[in-house]
Amino acid sequence: MSLRERLEPLLAKYDAAVPRYTSYPPIPYWGDVNAETVGEWLAEPLKTQDASLSLYTHIPFCRSRCHYCGCFVIITPHSEPADRYMEAVHREMEMIASHISSPRPVTQYHLGGGTPNFISADAMARLVDKAASHFPFAAGVEMSIEADPRHLNPSELKRLREIGFNRISMGVQDFDEQVQGGVNRVQPYEQVADQMSHIRDLGFDGVNFDLIYGLPHQTKDSFARTVERVLALRPDRLAIYNFAYLPQAFPHQQKMPAETIPDASEKLSIFLTAREMLTENGYRAIGLDHFALADDELALAYNDGSIRRNFMGYTTQAGTEMLAFGVSAISEYNGRFWQNEKKLARYQRTIDGGTLPIVRGMKLAPDDLLRKAIISDLFCRGRIDLPTLRDNFGVEMTGNLASELEKMPDFSADGLVDVNDEGVQVTELGQFFLRNIALVFDNRTSASNAPPVRFSRSV
């Protein structure tokens, strides 16, 4: 029986609104946290003494809106708002650094958005210099940037390389012209191919493509043609995201009529076809939706268990603490989460007043940390290792999972997991339902008194 034949009967059973689990607990269950509290958190010694830092800066600006987008972005053709914004980000870095008692070396630095290459190369160089002046960069630091290939030219790519960026991620989404028109993001294949040629010539260490399945007018055959073109360009990594059509939450998605969106069965065909084409051509399937060439660092990290997952997707370095800067940015530091203000004017006004722009956060309780570890292991390693959990959290804590573990045989009956005395192993079939399996261990979302929250569909 083919993988599709095994999957189809399970689609309706497991299709539910479920968190994506880029964090645990999910963001809607965080509480109100103020700048003073976060300052106190930053001043505390890190629990992991050899931890390194991962820095993230959010650049929210875009020149036009893609109809599918669910990110926090600001649409403007003008550079002045970005110039003022960058000054505020510089000051936020200063304030965060002033609270930290023992700085750690930065081993990862990432610019996301929005469109990070909206800002000029000179502004980007100033940003990197500011970050390095407050947080010491380790030798060989991984520096990555998300880029819109429609707004890159060879001189800008060369400047990025000179600044120190060694990895680049390009939002491709789909090469089909009808799909591109339907989502208001037209970028010819030839344009991306030209960028790839320059990127390789400049010696970037790695290239990632973001693709999206479930977009208007997509079919299995049309997306297969996109994947053929992707294979010709041979990026080191790919993320193939399941499009969440939520026009009530994102009114701009109403510009994509519901009847143009492929149904669940067609979406499954699209993804399975892409998955098969990639794995037959040297890519390793990783977790929920990532792929990497066998010799890429992400595939190697998946093999040795050091891979981790955060708000940017799958990443290669375990044991890093993330500090994030900019509007809506989310930090994960020393067993705490916090998020910045989402409104640009309010973010800048708060920074101008000398206060960190924090709006929500959470200090994780011991039970949260246990469940976070379990959900992370499901998404990153495809297993729950009970002996390791007991070593790290104690027999008494892991004993609290009895009712959750009792539900695993239900998944086993559907072929999603294998269960034994050592724990739970997710099967190839179960990889498609990781969010559903994780939900069992989420006592926030599944609680009877949990507030109503809108999540995307799991399938």
In order of their start, the domains of the chain are 24-325 (3.80.30.20), 366-447 (1.10.10.920)
State pLDDT tens for residues 68-87. Answer: 998 889 999 999 999 999 99
Question: Are 370 and 444 within 8 A, CB to CB?
Answer: no
Identity of the residue numbered 170: M
> pLDDT at position 184, please?
96
Question: Are 389 and 374 within 8 A, CB to CB?
Answer: yes
CA angle 300, 131, 354 (to 5 degrees): 130
The whole-angstrom distance between residue 400's C-alpha and the CA centroid of its chain comes to 30
State pLDDT tens for residues 156-202. Answer: 999 999 999 999 999 999 999 999 999 999 999 999 999 999 999 99
pLDDT (tens, 9 = 90+) of the chain, 459 residues, equals 788 888 888 988 898 888 889 899 999 999 999 999 999 999 998 888 778 999 999 999 999 999 999 888 999 999 999 999 999 999 999 999 999 987 889 999 999 999 999 999 999 999 999 999 999 999 999 999 999 999 999 999 999 999 999 999 999 999 999 999 999 999 999 999 999 999 999 999 999 999 999 999 999 999 999 999 999 999 999 999 999 898 988 999 999 999 999 998 899 899 999 999 999 999 999 988 999 999 999 999 998 888 888 887 788 877 689 999 999 999 999 999 999 999 999 999 999 999 999 999 999 999 999 999 999 999 999 999 999 999 999 988 888 899 999 999 999 999 999 999 899 999 999 999 999 999 999 988 876 555 566 676 666
Burial class from Cβ neighbours inside 10 Å (0-12, 13-18, 19+) for residue 186 reads exposed
Tokens in use for 52?
A: 């390194």
Burial class from Cβ neighbours inside 10 Å (0-12, 13-18, 19+) for residue 106 reads buried
**What DSSP line would sit under 189-251, residue for residue?**
HHHHHHHHHHHHHTT-SEEEEEEEES-TT--HHHHHHHHHHHHHH--SEEEEEEP---TTT-G
> pLDDT at position 454, please?
66
The whole-angstrom distance between residue 42's C-alpha and the CA centroid of its chain comes to 24
> pLDDT at position 306, please?
86
pTM: predicted TM-score of the whole model, two decimal places = 0.93
> pLDDT at position 305, please?
84
Q: Round to whole Å and give the CA distance between 182 and 270.
A: 17
Which residues, 6+ apart, have CB-to-CB distance to 406 below 8 Å? Answer: none
Mean pLDDT of the chain: 92
Indicate the SS3 state at residue 9. Answer: helix
Q: Round to whole Å and give the CA distance between 165 and 406.
A: 47
Backbone φ, ψ for residue 22 (5° rounding): -75, -15
Pick from 246, 225, 232, 62: which is nearest to 146 by CA? 62
How many CB atoms neighbour CB 151 within 10 A?
13
Half-sphere exposure of 273 (CA within 13 A, CB side): 18
C-alpha distances (whole Å) from 380 to each of 149, 172, 371 are 29, 24, 14
Render the burial of 342-374: b for 16+ CB within 10 Å, e for the rest.
Answer: eebeebbebbeeeebbbbbbbebeeebebbbbb
**Terminal CA-CA length for the chain:** 21
